[in-house]
Amino acid sequence: MMAKEKRSNTIIGKYMPYYYAGASLDFNLIHIDQEYAKANGLPGIILQGMCTMALTAKHLIDNGNPAQLRSIKVRFLNPVLPEDELIFDSIANGPDVSVVVKNKNGGRVLKGKATLK
Residue-wise pLDDT tens digits, 68-113: 999 999 999 999 999 999 999 999 999 999 999 999 999 999 999 9
The pTM of the full predicted model, rounded to 2 decimals, is: 0.93
CA angle, 109 as apex, 59 and 9 as ends, to 5°?
Answer: 35
Query: Is 34:74 a contact under the CB 8 Å cutoff?
Result: no
d(CA 71, CA 15): 29
Q: Does domain 4-12+48-116 have CATH number 3.10.129.10?
A: yes
Q: Which residues of 27-56 are buried (b: 16+ CB within 10 A; e: fewer)?
A: eeebbbeeeebeeeeeeebbbbbebbbbbb
